[in-house]
Structures are given as C-alpha cells and as structure tokens.
Amino acid sequence: MAEDTEEKMNVLQLLVSIIDRPATTMSYVGKKPGWTWVTPALLVLVGLVVFSVVTAPYTSELAMRQAQQQMASLPPQQAEQAAAQIERFTSPPMVAGFSIIGGLVTLAVIWLVSAGVLYFLGLVAGGEANFGQSFVILVWCWLPYALRNLVMAAYVTYSGKLLNPGLSSLVATGDQAKDTANWLYGLLAQVDLFYLWHLILVIVGLAAVGRFSKTKATIVGLIYLAVTTALSLIPTLVGSMFS
C-alpha cells in the first residue's frame, strides 16, 4: 500500500511534502530518480533569474561607481574611451544577463561536485544510494536556496538597496570589493535559516535513501556541509592570494 501511495504522488504533492514531510519526498524521488530533479531545478532557476533581474540596477550602479574610481587616475582620453566600454558592460541588462549565465554555470558545477561529495561520503559510511540518487536528492535539497533568492529579491525591491546576505553584516566594511575578497565575509554570507534548512533536508535524504540511522545521517550531513562550504570558499581564497 505504501508503494501504491508513493506511485501516485505528483509534483505538487512532492513540493508540499518537502515542507511538512520531507522524508516522504526524499524516499519517493530516491526510488524514482529519473527526471524528478527537473522540477526543483526549474524552481531554483526561477529564483536565480528573479534575483538577478531585481538586483541588476543596484549592482550596475555599484559597478559604475567602482569603475569611475579606478578611471580617476587615467589620462582624460583613455578615461573617456574606457567609460564608454564600462557603461555598456555594466548596464542593468548586461549585468542581469552575466549574472544569470554565470549563475547557471556555477550552479551546474556546484551540483555535480556536491552530489559527488554526498555520494562519496555516503559510500564511505556504508550507505546504499548511488550517484544518480545522490544528485536527485541534492537538487531537491537546494529548494531552500531558491526561496532565499526570492526573499532577498523581495527585500531589495522593498528597501531599494542591496543587503549583506546571511551573517556577513557582522564583518562587512561597506566596501563591496574588499568584502567579496574576504573569505570570512563569504563564509558568513552563507549562514542563515535557508542554509540550516538545506542541511536538514540533506540529513533527511541520507536517512531516507542511504538507509542511515538519524545519528549517522546527521554526522555525514555535517561533514558534507563542512566540505562543500570549504570548497565554495576556494575562489575567494585564491583571488585574495593574487590581489
């Protein structure tokens, strides 16, 4: 009877269950991986596009101000030529387009790497999930980040200004270039309720699909989060070494 009930679950039921009965959704998509990752992936894409479009005017203005500061030391003729190029490439449509395309490429890499980490850790710990199941579970676990983007977009629309994400305001200096080069800022920017929700879904997914006990799933989930968070800081650390 349990299998019959699972077979009748549609996308809407799965999305509702990820909130109030996440183990049900994880168990279902784990048994039927296939293309079940497409729906959460599309929702994550929607969140990315909305956030990129809403924040583009503010990001464009910030980029223009930084560029003008850098051009102040250039000869007038060079500054005029550079200004025309910068104005074109920092226009809101261009900024939004670069943000969406860059976000998609980054997201694809992050999902593949994170799914690999999840699969490897599960394998070492004696789990039963294969890479395909790990990937599907990972994408479903990304739904909190889709909601995060929508919430942040709503805040920017309401307040008319960009915000320091997560707990990054604790170390923010107000200088965007300096902040983005600070690994601690990058770390704290990830820490919020959606970050914790993502961890909870990963733990639930490990228990439901990997057949782990709650204790082992929690340990593996925490290691996964530590590893993937550390990997996400590598570009910032490398960039700071050459800056």
Q: How many CA atoms lie within 13 A of 29 on its CB side?
A: 31
Tell me the pLDDT band of 187, cut-offs 50, 70 and 90.
very high
Asked whether residue 152 is assigned to any structural domain, the reply reads yes
Asked whether residue 1 is assigned to any structural domain, the reply reads no
The tokens of 129 are what?
């999930």
Of 110, 141, 122, which is closest to residue 40 (Cα–Cα)? 141
**Which of 23-32, 71-80, 152-161, 222-231 bottoms out in mean pLDDT, i.e. has the lowest?**
71-80
Does residue 198 contact residue 145 with C-beta atoms inside 8 Å? yes
Asked whether residue 55 is assigned to any structural domain, the reply reads yes
Secondary structure (3-state) at 126: coil
pLDDT of 1: 38
Task: Kindly report, residue by residue over 201-233, the tens digit of the pLDDT.
Answer: 999 999 999 889 999 999 999 999 999 999 999
Please indicate whether residue 24 or residue 240 has the higher confidence score (pLDDT): 24
The tokens of 16 are what?
């509702």
pTM: 0.87
Total number of domains in the chain: 1
Asked whether residue 147 is assigned to any structural domain, the reply reads yes
Task: Kindly report, residue by residue over 79-91, the tens digit of the pLDDT.
Answer: 666 666 777 777 8
- Domain span holding position 32: 10-242
The tokens of 107 are what?
């997201």
Asked whether residue 206 is assigned to any structural domain, the reply reads yes
Given the structure tokens 């048994």, which residue do they identify? 31
pLDDT of 233: 92
Asked whether residue 2 is assigned to any structural domain, the reply reads no
Asked whether residue 3 is assigned to any structural domain, the reply reads no
Asked whether residue 4 is assigned to any structural domain, the reply reads no
Query: What number is the average pLDDT over the span 37-52?
Result: 96
Does residue 119 contact residue 129 with C-beta atoms inside 8 Å? yes
Q: Which residues neighbour 98 within 8 Å (Cβ) at sequence distance 6 or greater?
A: none
